Each structure stands twice: as C-alpha cells, then as structure tokens.
Amino acid sequence: MKFLFPALLMSASLTQAADLTINDAMARAVPPTAKISAAFMTLINNANTDLAVVSAESSVAEAVELHNNTMTDGKMKMRQVNQIDLPAKQTTELKPGGLHVMLIGLNKALVEGETIDLTLNFSDGSSEALEIPIQPIEPMMQKKHEHKH
Amino acid sequence: MRNLFLYTFLGLAVSVGAYVSFELFGPKAPLPKYAQAGIGGDFSLTSVEGEINLSDYKGEIVLVYFGFMSCPDVCPTSMGVMATAIRQLSEEQQQKVRGLFISVDPQRDTPEELHAYTQYFSNRIFGATSSKEQIDAIVKQYGGYYAFVEMEDSALGYTVDHSARLYLIDPDGHLADILAHDINPVELHEKLAAYL
C-alpha cells in the first residue's frame, strides 16, 4: 500500500487535473549556498488522452523551469524543455539524471524536513498545487544488482 | 694480512655494486598507466585558504571532480556518493582522503560559496576554482571536457555541459584511476580502502 501523499488530499479543493496521480514528489535538499535545486516525482496519467506539464511555479524560486538531463558520450548535458509529455495510460518519472522541475534563484535554503509549494500547470488548462517535502538524495550503501532470494 | 684487506675490499665492492645496480635496474613500483600516459599531474587553484596545490596533499588520496554549483543533479549526486564512501572509513582513514570539487564556473561560484557547498556533504570535501585559463589547462591535463552552453529562454542564462568523472589521485600525487560519476558508494569505498 503506497503512502497517500497529503498534498493530494488537500488538492481536492483546488483545480484538479483530470485523472492524474502524483507520487513521491520531493524537492532536493541542497547546500546553503546552492542557488538552484530540483523537484522530482512520478506522474501517472490514468486518462485515455495525452496530457503534458507545460509550466510550474513556486514561491521559493525566482524561476521554475522544466529541464532534462542526458548523458551522451560521457558528457552530462542539461537542457530546458518546453513541456513534459504525460502520454495516456502511462507513468512518467521525473528523477535524478533525467527530467526534472528546475528551481532557479532560490530565495530560501531548502532544508531537509521542511516543505515547499509547487504548482504544476497542464496542457488542458488545469493546475495542481502541491506541498512537497524537502529531502536529501543520499546514495545507499548497497551494491548494484544485488538481489536476495 | 694483505689478503684479508683484499677480500674485505672485494666483498664491499661486490655489495656496493649489487646495491647500486639493484637501485638502477631492479624492479620498481610502476607508475599508474595514466601517469605513464602523461594524464594528470599537479595544479594550482584558489580555495578559501588561498592558493592550494595538488602536491600539498601528498600522502592523501585525493578525489578530484569537475563540476559547478548550478548543476542540479549529477554534481550533488556525485558529492553524495563521495561523502557516503568516505563516511564508511575509520576516522583515522578519513583524514587521509580528500574530495576536491573544482568549479569550472568561476563566474558564478566563489571560493567561499564552494567551501560551504562541499562541506555540506562532508568535512573531507573541499571546493576550489581558478581563472578560466587555468581551469581549461587542468581539465585538458586530466582528459576531461566541459563547455558553456547558452540557454536563451532559461533564467539560468547558460549551463555547462561536462564530463562527470571522479579522478582518484594516489598518495604519491599520480592519477591512479578514473571512475564513473555514478559509481556505487560501496565500490568507491573499496577503491579508497585499497590505498589505506
């Protein structure tokens, strides 16, 4: 049973995007002098029609943009994208090393345990206002491909 | 009596000769392959402590990383991996390991900010930068890559494409290994432990 995100309960009173589930939303805790951070989440479009995230807003950053990271030939490249497509009946992951919501020009330190507001605007004109936790992304002391049977 | 002197002299001569030829021609610890290929070597940077040189840290393992503070993803992840691997070492061993985050973006990142940024992850990770010319030279010396890329529609203005690798410098100051940015902390810990 997945932990139901409180923001989703709260968002019932807000403009609701059609048939969309957002799980594991978080903003990355960053060092005090960092001017930027990123937000990650899993978006599930349960509808029969395609949707897209076209923009985002937050009170903690001067600008909020949609970005994508790619690793080609050992070179890490980050580029802004116009929208993040959420194809019908599919799960789209915003995660480290890939698509993310970029928080630029932070006006407060993103401290672990606190939350930030984040509003996602969708291609159908709807919006989703979230209150997401600030968490560190700590690599685990686990070996890759280690499965216990 | 004369014979005794002669034998002593001969004996000494043979010993000295053997010692000298062993020193000159005997087996030596080979240089790591990167050092043999001329990759790596000493450099100078500016940190909160003023000018620092890689050679200041002889006797320590140095993990060099080229990044920038506006990097949202790979850089903090790599710093997290480094910090986690270092934390697994004993307190004594940790003092012999040093992370060095070299900012390739001196226009935005000051030594003070870099210090606070790196110390957030571990008190054994330090930040430094230099002039663009100096950084270009160091990146080239280590076979790395970075390039500024204009982002017209972004509030960032520009971003930096970069090779994201960890350069492991052995206690003699030689580049001993080049590791992927997403190396597992367990693997990195094993690499570090091998030199301690």
Cα dist from A94 to B46, B122, B169, whole Å: 36, 27, 35
Give residue limits of the domains in chain B. Answer: 1-30, 33-193
- For residue B18, the distance in angstroms to the closest alpha carbon of chain A comes to 49
CATH of the domain at A98: 2.60.40.1890
pLDDT in tens, B20-69: 555 555 555 677 889 888 899 999 999 999 999 999 999 999 999 999 99
**CB spacing of A139 vs B80 below 8 angstroms:** yes
* Rounded average pLDDT over B127-136: 97
Q: How far is B70 from chain A (nearest CA, A)?
A: 6
| Contact residues on chain B for A32, CB-CB shorter than 8 A | 116, 120
Task: Quickly count: other Cβ atoms within 10 Å of residue B100's Cβ.
Answer: 23
Q: Confirm whether A114 is domain-assigned.
A: yes
Which residue is closest to B115 within chain A, CA to CA? A33
Q: Do B72 and A67 touch (CB under 8 A)?
A: yes
Residue A145 belongs to a domain: no
Alpha-carbon gap, residue B149 to B152, rounded angstroms: 10
Residue A7 has pLDDT above 80, yes or no: no
Please check whether residue A14 lies inside any domain of the structure.
yes
Using 50, 70 and 90 to split pLDDT, how confident is the model at B19? low
What is the rounded average pLDDT for all residues in chain A? 85
Quote the ipTM score: 0.74
Q: Quick check: B185 and A141 CB within 8 A?
A: yes
Task: Report the pLDDT value the prediction gives residue B72, as an integer from 0 to 100.
Answer: 80
User: Within a domain: residue A111?
Assistant: yes
Which three-class secondary structure state does DSSP give residue B174?
Answer: coil
Confidence of residue B144 (pLDDT cuts 50, 70, 90): very high
Instruction: Give domain status of residue A115, yes or no.
Output: yes
Number of A to B CB contacts under 8 A, please give it.
Answer: 108
Interface of B with A in 143-182 (CB under 8 A): 145, 149, 151, 153-156, 159, 161-165, 181-182
Q: Identify whether A62 is part of a domain.
A: yes
**CA–CA separation, A54 and A67 (whole Å):** 11
Asked if residue A22 is part of any domain, the answer here is: yes
List the 106-135 stretch of A: residues with Cβ below 8 A of B.
none
Out of 3.30.450.20, 3.20.20.70, 3.40.30.10, 3.40.50.1000, the CATH code matching B33-193 is 3.40.30.10
**Average pLDDT value for residue range A6-12:** 46
Residue A144 has pLDDT above 60, yes or no: no
Mean pLDDT of A59-84: 92
Is-contact A137 B77, C-beta < 8 A? yes
| Helix, strand, coil share (%) of chain B residues, nearest 5 | 40, 25, 35
Q: How many domains does chain A have?
A: 1
Chosen for mutation from B73, B78, B179 (greatest number of chain A CBs closer than 10 Å) is: B73
Closest alpha carbon within chain B to A99: B73
Closest alpha carbon within chain B to A38: B72
Q: Are A59 and A117 in contact (CB under 8 A)?
A: yes
pLDDT, tens only, A117-138 = 999 999 999 999 999 999 987 7
**Which residues of chain B neighbour A63 with C-beta distances below 8 Å?**
154-155
